[in-house]
Structure 1
Amino acid sequence: MEIINTKEIVKKYGFKFTKSLGQNFLMDNEVLKDIVEGAEVSKEDFVIEIGPGVGTLTRKLLNAAKSVCAIELDSDLLPILEQELKDYDNFMLVHKDALKVDFNEITAREKSVKLVANLPYYVTTPIISKLLTGGYVFKSLTIMIQKEVAERIAAKPNCKEYGALSLLVQYYCDTKIIRKVSPESFIPRPKVESIVIRLDRLSEPRVKVKSEKLFFTIIRNAFNMRRKTLWNALKQLKLSKENLENAFLAAEIDPKRRGETLSIEEFGKLSDNIYDIINQ
């Protein structure tokens, strides 16, 4: 097995970490191997990597995939990546903020697209949201993220981790936790544990709703103030008392319940009944 030493590459180029970019580079070869295997990367796949760092994971992806497009914001890393990966003709480097990238432009004509990344913690939720709601053609996202965020993504109703992020991801994807990763696996060491999680895109959303916009508005309102009952949380919708009562009645949901007790199917049912009342 090829051993890639992240520490040595960092030292070789005298690279200085930028705290504001959330840079924590992975240096554990077992974890790198598990990420690539967990993502089930094959020679059929066009892989996008966000935040390649010094190219430690990128190299393993390049050996396994058809091609890899790495998106890096830090201009100081570009010459390092170009030098370290110069022998790979299936490597493409984009200098851009991932939140501003049109992934459809990059993946045009590609049949099998997977995203594999060690995401900076501070942009984890915005990037996941962009990737899932932007109409992109990813088969799966295999991402290393903060343990608490991964637990929220995979959470089921009736636990404190369950919330708007759980429902957003589970609306679009099946989730599978690949492995835990300790702080010792990174340079510099983060203060928290990480988890590698894979999100497999569903061919259709998990529930069919009449208005996705209303569905997610109701979910956000339900979790903005977790201790509120659904009745109090959904007063934000500015429906009359009678209409709100009728919506709960038609959905067979007790308005005294809290958002964290509702399944995704129940949120879908409530959303559709409110939609019908709004549009009658």
Structure 2
Amino acid sequence: ESVIEIGGGRGDLTCHLLDTGAEVTSIEIDRDLAHVLSVRFTDSGHFHLIRSDILQTDPSTLLTRGATAKLVGNIPYNLTTPILEWIIEHRVFFPLVVLMVQKEVALRLAAQPGGKDFGSLTVFVQLFYGVKRVFTLRPGSFFPKPTIDSAVIELRQLPKSHIVDAEYKQLRRLTSACFRWRRKTIVRILREEYQLEPDVAVQLVTSLSLDPHSRPEQLAVSDFVALMRELKCIDRDLP
């Protein structure tokens, strides 16, 4: 079993991963921490260290052709969105991802339609992965003690993605517009973002059995996909 670790740090998580018998490749950008890891695990035949920025790393260079790996990490909270984007881009390599993130981010990633936590990040990740919040960690679990709660999340790749790669750009445009104006109705957003006539926007929404007065957080991930495809049918040249 292969595991890729984002940021090995001083090796506390790495040690437990190695205890499972896995082949662990740790991607560590910090020179001093990379040295700590190389010294600590110098006698381990199952540990591999890559000193690099995870966002600049190509997983295909770490795995044999057709192989996959579990991806784990206590990721820097200020890099959560870029790292999630990197994971989505390289999702073919990572059927299972386990990350520690800020609790508020975990709530957003695992959110269901209808709540305030449901947003563009939710849709973005749930297009490709099922999300499970495993447990929460209080600040006292760490030293030095942070000021926020953390949570461990599990991302398990869906058997079939909601969209194909060619649709990704259009869907990002739609979800970005929707949650930028999340207090507006879907019909109003479609009118303003896509310059649709009022009756056309209403007809498009109702054709999908959606309430014209619904707001973005009330739509399911599949509703956003359906809306995007209907918009493409209206205008094949839609950017």
* Counterpart Cα distance in 1 of 2:109 and 2:50: 28
* Aligned counterparts of 1:219 and 1:237: Cα–Cα separation in 2: 13
- Unpaired runs of 5+ residues, structure 2, are none
Give me the whole-angstrom Cα distance separating, in 2, the residues matched to 1:114 and 1:209: 22
SS at match of 1:247: helix
- From the superposition, tell whether residues 121 and 138 of structure 1 become closer, same or farther in structure 2 (CA, over 3 Å): same
The question of 1:86 aligning with 2:38 is answered no
Spell out, residue by residue over 1:64-104, the C-alpha distance to the aligned partner (whole angstroms, 9 max, x if none): 14311111111111111111111111111111111111112
Q: Between the two structures, name the one with larger relative contact order (CA 8 Å, sep ≥ 6).
A: 1
For 1:79 and 1:130, how far apart are their aligned partners in 2? Answer: 25
Residues 1:120 and 2:83 are matched in the alignment: no
The secondary structure found in structure 2 opposite 1:211 is helix
State how far apart, in whole Å, the 1-side matches of 2:165 and 2:53 are: 32
Counterparts of 2:118 and 2:21, CA distance in 1: 34
Q: C-alpha displacement at 1:209, in angstroms? A: 9.5
Please, which of 95, 99, 102 is the counterpart of residue 55 of structure 2? 99
Which runs of structure 2 are paired with 1:232-271 in the superposition (5 Å)? 232-234=188-190, 235-241=192-198, 243-271=200-228
Q: What is the identity, as a one-letter code, of the residue corresponding to 1:277?
A: I
* 8 Å CA contact retained: 1:115, 1:142: yes
TM superposition shift of 1:188: 1.8
Percent of aligned positions that are identical: 33
Output the amino acid matched with 1:205. Answer: S
Offset of residue 217 of structure 1 = 1.7
TM-score by length of 2: 0.90
Q: Does 2:239 align with 1:276?
A: no
Which whole-Å CA distance do the structure 1 matches of 2:178 and 2:21 have between them?
42
- Give the C-alpha shift of residue 203 in structure 1: 2.3
Q: 1:95 to 1:61 in 2, by over 3 A?
A: same
Give a deviation string over 1:209-235, Cα, whole Å, max 9, x none: 982322222111110122122223232
Asked if structure 2 preserves the Cα contact closer than 8 Å seen for 1:209 and 1:268, the reply is no
1:53-92 counterparts in 2 under 5 A? 53-92=9-48
**Of residues 191, 204, 224 in structure 1, which corresponds to 2:180?**
224
Unaligned runs of 5+ in 1: 1-44
Residue type at the aligned position of 1:229: T
Corresponding residue SS for 2:145: coil
Aligned residues of 1:164 and 1:220 also touching (Cα < 8 A): yes
Q: CA RMSD in A?
A: 2.1
- The amino acid of 1:188's aligned partner reads P
Q: Is the 8 A contact 1:113 1:138 kept in 2?
A: yes
